[in-house]
Amino acid sequence: MQNLSAVVLTYNEVANIGRCLESVAGLCPVFVVDSGSTDDTVDVCRRLGASVTHHPYANHSQQWQWALDNLPLEGDWVLALDADFTVSPALRQRLFHDLQAVPPSVAGIYVRHLYQFGGSTIRHGGIKRFWLRLVRHGRARADQSDLVDFRFLVDGDTIVWREAVYEYNHHDDDASAWTAKQDKFSLRLAVEEELRRRRLLDWARPPRPLGNSDERYMWLRDRWLRLPLFVRPLGYFVYRYLLRGGFLDGRGGFLYHAMQGFWLRLLVDWKTLQLRRLELDDATLLRFRDAMLRTSSGSIIQVSRSLDSVS
């Protein structure tokens, strides 16, 4: 397809990248932006026909913005993939047959996102079922207003396709690796929520309850900030697992909603309490954020000590 390019970000993704690239093989040109892999990721990418470019990683948003600004992308559309994503055959067919006919007013296409976890495909219980993964080149940019989640902002209308991208990270099969990653994310979520409560961090676009998938998600997250700590994780689990049917996904559904929907949120609340006990003023909280982003630690104490050492 001459009007589409796929872009994939990688770092030590040899366990995942083969499946990702095979799912788009022959569909369109594929560009990989690697941030210094020390395994065989780059060799696998080149063997499977991808064009590989190296760029140092600061954060996900900046890496995507660099890719949009600097890669020699072909055609009007960019298919944005992570290394642990695979394009479903149904989405591949939709791209081939329907992408050319999308009206010029449309600058982004949301596709179904299905997460594979604990041996199950998570089809129920989520609050964000569609992700913006197809954007028009030159009319999209990476949202810099979030410390954990990632999204694109587009200049134009968006539409929804129900065909799916699957996310399955083989590294997450190791429970210790998964929990270590969530430990880091929980600190970033706690800091981000505190910044939003103090109005030191704003969304790049206004949240709207009846907007697109991202705008609704942002609106819900603002409501989340008003709920009491340690109560909201339990309510969220009940909502996802029972009311939204997460139990229908079997053992994997239970693991996903119990760990990602309850345990992670409980950890965020615990770290929020620890953060508040530091009694940081606004300027110091911003310095804490910057110190946190320079490390991979999930520890309030470690980041606080690093802040003290700089002072």
On whether residue 233 sits in a domain, the answer given is yes
The answer to whether residues 13 and 58 touch, using CB atoms and an 8 Å cutoff, is no
On whether residue 309 sits in a domain, the answer given is no
Task: Single out the residue in 151, 170, 189 at which a domain terminates.
Answer: 170
Tally of structural domains, the chain: 2
Q: In a 3-state reduction of DSSP, which class is residue 30? A: strand
Same domain, 109 and 243: no
pLDDT for the residue numbered 242: 96
Same domain, 184 and 139: no
What dihedral do alpha carbons 56, 60, 65, 66 form, nearest 10°?
10
pLDDT for the residue numbered 1: 64
Provide the 8-state DSSP code for 228: P
Same domain, 18 and 72: yes
Residue 138, Cβ neighbours under 10 Å: how many? 12
pLDDT for the residue numbered 311: 54
On whether residue 118 sits in a domain, the answer given is yes
**Non-local CB neighbours of 189 within 8 Å, separated by 6+ positions:** 147, 148, 268
Same domain, 143 and 214: no
pLDDT for the residue numbered 74: 82
Kindly report the average pLDDT of the chain as a whole number. 94
Same domain, 297 and 225: yes
Same domain, 93 and 205: no
pLDDT for the residue numbered 168: 96
Same domain, 33 and 56: yes
Same domain, 112 and 211: no
Tokens 């600061």 label which residue? 58
On whether residue 89 sits in a domain, the answer given is yes
Same domain, 19 and 166: yes
CA angle, residues 59, 60, 65, in degrees to nearest 5: 100
The answer to whether residues 110 and 130 touch, using CB atoms and an 8 Å cutoff, is yes
Both tokens of 301, joined, read 């104490």
Q: In CATH, what number is assigned to the domain containing residue 82?
A: 3.90.550.10
**Residues 164, 176: Cα–Cα separation, whole Å:** 28
Same domain, 140 and 199: no
The answer to whether residues 204 and 143 touch, using CB atoms and an 8 Å cutoff, is yes
pLDDT for the residue numbered 149: 87
Both tokens of 81, joined, read 């993939």
On whether residue 88 sits in a domain, the answer given is yes
On whether residue 310 sits in a domain, the answer given is no
Task: Single out the residue in 152, 170, 188 at which a domain terminates.
Answer: 170
Q: In a 3-state reduction of DSSP, which class is residue 295? A: coil
Look up the domain containing 214 and give its range. Answer: 175-301
pLDDT for the residue numbered 65: 96
**Residues 230, 90: Cα–Cα separation, whole Å:** 41
**Non-local CB neighbours of 291 within 8 Å, separated by 6+ positions:** 303, 306, 307, 310
**Residues 257, 62: Cα–Cα separation, whole Å:** 30
Task: Single out the residue in 170, 189, 204 at which a domain terminates.
Answer: 170
pLDDT for the residue numbered 295: 87
On whether residue 308 sits in a domain, the answer given is no
Q: Which of 162, 160, 163 is closest to 89 using CA atoms?
A: 163
Profile the chain (311 residues) by mean pLDDT over runs of 10 residues. 91 96 96 97 97 93 95 94 97 95 96 94 87 96 90 96 96 94 95 96 92 92 96 96 96 96 97 96 95 90 83 54
pLDDT for the residue numbered 148: 87
Same domain, 245 and 268: yes
